[in-house]
Amino acid sequence: MGSIDMPTTAENNSSPTPTATADGGLHPGESNGTLGDESNVSKKRRGGMLPLEVGTRVMCRWRDGKYHPVKVIERRKLPSAGANDYEYYVHYTEFNRRLDEWVKLEQLDLDSVETVVDEKVEDKVTSLKMTRHQKRKIDETHVEGHEELDAASLREHEEFTKVKNIATIELGRYEIETWYFSPFPPEYNDCVKLYFCEFCLNFMKRKEQLQRHMRKCDLKHPPGDEIYRSGTLSMFEVDGKKNKVYGQNLCYLAKLFLDHKTLYYDVDLFLFYVLCECDDRGCHMVGYFSKEKHSEESYNLACILTLPPYQRKGYGKFLIAFSYELSKKEGKVGTPERPLSDLGLLSYRGYWTRVLLDILKKHKGNISIKELSDMTAIKAEDILTTLQTLELIQYRKGQHVICADPKVLDRHLKAAGRGGLEVDVSKLIWTPYKEQN
């Protein structure tokens, strides 16, 4: 996270200032101050290509100080500026969409401009008139993997969600840069930053509003039942039907960090499991997962998120493990809702690998995939895929046979990394939802 320091540029008719590249030379196309004619020609050429069109590909200086290829996604005119004074919303083609951002003209190498504009972008959102119903439909569509969308709907989704609407949020003691678009109500369209109450998740436009709210808000933890506490960690189960506003606010918040999350306005059908770090000030959310109350596809997890300040601390692995402990309590096998995000797939593959190989290392004699499924609550298909990926399974005489050489298992376990925080099952006090009614 962090901002990019912008260099000052020459204005009016002064000579352009040379810019050093990573190798110590001058930036391509920049004058050293001695070639006046070439500089004037370059100025005229650049002036003719400005402002850059949406869809233009160009090199852009990123926060690492190096130039990377980008594609212009959107542009907006700077207030009180000249005819060609715009800033540009760009996608770094080498990186995930979460790093898309607004940049100044000074960060772009205009001599690297590719003038070909993508056909897909020519139908840009500024000319795409959508009704409120169409926007809501796009918000509710799950697009990861593109299985559920036809080409037209996919284009609409990409166009409508291509620019981050909220740049930063304040949540508890953290200010967090957002990653993706989230469809907040229209009255928040002009907000660059939102302020969240970390306990009830109500959000406001101004810091003063949050301060007034905190003096009145009597919540010190998520509005649900505490079903797990071990040390300073607590897990709360929040019923979307009983706490609808909290559930919806949690979805708005999560969408800022999940590219292809389905945004459900009807949260009644879901349970939210909110993980918190607790201290004398209250229980502070670090992440959550949700699950359908009744899933015909045996899904034990619909959505999972660890907030950025708490990532790389083992909480994501903990949330996955917790979802399977609930499945064991239910006496069911479970699997995450598909399709998985890129980070989600990596996390699950790591979890499945560690759990299955730990059993195979300790187990003496033959063991079947069904037995592994019964022991772990992992769906048989996920076990099969994981073992095939690790090349630990063969197909012999009409059935799958697990080949578990101890040295190979150790190598795969080392590659899978540490398991993260352990779920202490003895601290879990929980009744499956169907038994609560």
- Catalytic amino acids? 337
What tokens does 251 get? Answer: 């979805």
Interatomic CA distance for residues 256 and 250, integer angstroms: 10
What tokens does 39 get? Answer: 């500089």
For the beta sheet containing 203-204, the strands, ordered from the edge strand earlier in sequence to the opposite edge, are 174-177, 168-171, 193-196, 203-204
Residue 6 CA to its chain's centroid (Å): 27
**First and final C-alpha spacing in the chain:** 46
What tokens does 203 get? Answer: 């959000």
What tokens does 292 get? Answer: 């359908």
Burial annotation 250-261 (CB, 10 A radius, 16+ → b, else e): bbbbbbbbbbbb
CB 237 within 8 A of CB 430: yes
Which own/partner pairs from 66-71 qualify as long-range (CB within 8 Å, at least 24 positions apart)? Answer: 66/22, 67/21, 67/22, 67/109, 67/112, 68/92, 68/93, 68/94, 68/95, 69/93, 69/94, 70/103, 70/108, 71/118
Q: How does DSSP assign 15-64, residue by residue?
A: PPPP-B-TTSSBPTT---SS-HHHHHHHHHHHHHHPSPPTT-EEEEE-TT
Interatomic CA distance for residues 379 and 259, integer angstroms: 26
Please report, for residues 23, 102, 112, 275, 307, the alpha-carbon distance to residue 66 in angstroms, rounded to integers and kept in the order given: 10, 17, 14, 38, 28
Residue 208 C-beta-side C-alpha neighbours within 13 Å: 0
Closest Cα partner for 178 from 93, 256, 267? 256
